[in-house]
Structures are given as C-alpha cells and as structure tokens.
C-alpha cells in the first residue's frame, strides 16, 4: 500500500488541465492503486490525479457504494440542481455548500480501458462532478457559496 501526498489549494499543479490517458500501462495501474489507497487512508469519497500532482485524466470515487475508477471521464448529460455541503482533501479543514446538477451521465473508461457509462444521482452525482472539475483545474471553492464556508473535516 502506498499513500501519496495530497497537494493543497495553493499548489499550481491543481490548476493544470489534465491530459487524456491513451492506454492503461503498468504505471497507470500503479497510480490508480496508489490513488485508491490514498483516498481510503484519508477517509475521502473521491480523489483526482491532479490532487497527487499528476496531470492525467484519472479519478477514483467511492461514496460507500463501491470503488469506481474513472479514466478520461466526461459528463455527457446532466440536469436538475441540488445543493450539498462539500469538502476537499486539497482544501483541508473546510466545508461549504455547492450547487450542482442533481443527476449526471458520465462516460469514461475502466481499468481494462473498456468504455463505461455511469448514470448517477445523489451523492455519487455530486462526487463525480467534484472530481471531474479537479481534472479541469477547478476547485469546489471556486463555485461554493462563501457565506456557507465553515471549518470541519474534508472528504474529497
């Protein structure tokens, strides 16, 4: 098990747009494994490669319904609006309310580089949007209502 260092808000690597993965190499598999270990070690519900300083379009998510590995994820459809409180492992010690789509369809590839389509609502939909934002260099604090910012444990 390898736990990677999660970089935080001021680190410019969090603002880079990520590069698509062309194939699943042993290095990519190792990165996904290490990201998963890192997410669980931090009690997170999601982690994007940018958060460990890698500009690759990869994220892992587990909102308590099992691990989802996302390679090259894109939101292909979305709708509705819902507000949830969010935290981020890269913005430690804070929470704030963020309005996002209440449902999303995400197209991605799995660890065998097969195309998968994920239809999500609720917490999973929110987490997917949070992680895909990371892959585009966006942090939840860019979208959060600053009046709702409060101190607490972070999860993503």
| Residues identified as active-site | 131
Comparison of 24 and 34: residue with beta carbon closer to Zn ion: 34
Please identify which residue in 60, 88, 127, 135 interacts with Zn ion, judged by CB under 5 A: 88
- Which range, of 15-23, 80-88, 103-111, 113-121, touches Zn ion by CB under 5 A? 80-88
6 binding Zn ion? (CB under 5 A): no
Residue 62 CB, shortest distance to Zn ion, in Å, is 14
How far CA 127 is from CA of 25, 41, 45, 59, 60, in Å, comes to 26, 18, 7, 11, 10
Q: In the bound complex, what is the minimum distance in angstroms from residue 48's beta carbon to Zn ion?
A: 7
Looking at residues 89 to 108 of the shown chain, list those that interact with Zn ion (rule: CB under 5 A): none
Residues of the shown chain interacting with Zn ion in the complex, contacts defined by CB under 5 A: 88, 156
């Amino acid at each position: 098990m390898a736990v990677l260092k999660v970089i935080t808000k001021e680190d410019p690597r969090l603002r880079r747009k990520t590069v698509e993965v062309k194939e699943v190499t042993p290095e990519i598999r190792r990165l996904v494994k290490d990201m998963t270990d890192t997410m669980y070690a931090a009690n997170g519900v999601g982690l994007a490669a940018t958060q460990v300083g890698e500009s690759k379009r990869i994220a892992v998510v587990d909102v308590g319904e099992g691990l989802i590995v996302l390679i090259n994820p894109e939101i292909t459809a979305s709708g509705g609006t819902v507000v949830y409180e969010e935290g981020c492992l890269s913005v430690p010690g804070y929470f704030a309310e963020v309005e996002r789509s209440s449902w999303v369809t995400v197209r991605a590839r799995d660890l065998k580089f097969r195309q998968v389509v994920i239809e999500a609502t609720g917490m999973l939909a929110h987490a997917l949007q949070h992680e895909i934002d990371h892959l585009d260099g966006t942090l939840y604090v860019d979208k959060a209502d600053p009046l709702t910012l409060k101190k607490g444990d972070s999860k993503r």
